[in-house]
Amino acid sequence: MSITTNGILLTPVMQKRLIESGIDQVVFSVDSITDFTGDGHKNAAALKNIMEFAKLAKKWNRPDIAFQACNQKNREHDLFDVINFAGRAGIKKVEILRLDTRFVSNLARPTFKEEQQTLARAVKFGRLIGVEVNSIQYSLGRGFYAALFRISRRLFHSLNVFMNKPCLKVQDYLYINVKGKGTPCCMLPHYEIGDLGSQNLDEVWHSEKFKNFRKKDWKQICGKCDIMNLKYKS
């Protein structure tokens, strides 16, 4: 199981509880290492918590830690800062996501051409400092792999709909938003399914709202997502 959090609420007590839960991976959502985030919270405390948790995870030899960052228009430098910070923190994986502006209308995403150029530079920079930088749109965006991905994605999506299963991401994934609320996906930061302040991971994961989301609600909520597309939806 994997969860994603920005780390703001990751107190020492919560850090210990998270490691003892046996979770496989913790992904930290970090769009900037400055105070700019675009959603009203500050990063200084979160970055301190992330560094402390990384040290604790190394001591326990679990869980796996990675970063994710959204590609925002005119903020390419933030991506490179995040990759560099990951390298200094000993975190070897950074996933760059496509921004979904349905839920953050105050932010903008680059054009498709700008996206590809930024991703190419980010991957190259990551290699220089020993950080694996991934992005579906870059890794599978060209040639044979792009064609294969498009075919397999359509097949998987058709099979999921037929079997009434949601996007594979929400089968083993939980996102913790800035308020400490659990949501099915980082692209759905306001669709709250539980509260990590008053519930444990097991209670949130098996909550009725999350069950309903995986059973039926995903069809209406996730229909316009293009995070798994190689190109933008029109």
Q: How far apart are CA 27 and CA 125, in angstroms?
A: 20
Q: How far apart are CA 168 and CA 122, in angstroms?
A: 26
Residue 172, Cα to own-chain centre: how many angstroms?
A: 13
Residue 198: Cβ within 10 Å count: 9
Model pLDDT, residue 234: 42
pTM: 0.70
Q: How far apart are CA 2 and CA 26, in angstroms?
A: 6
| Mean pLDDT per 10-residue segment, the chain (234 residues) | 83 88 89 65 75 91 91 90 92 87 76 88 95 75 50 55 60 78 82 88 89 81 63 52
Model pLDDT, residue 40: 44
For domain 2-139, is the CATH number 3.20.20.70?
yes
Give the three-state DSSP class for 2.
strand
In the chain, domain spans: 2-139, 145-233
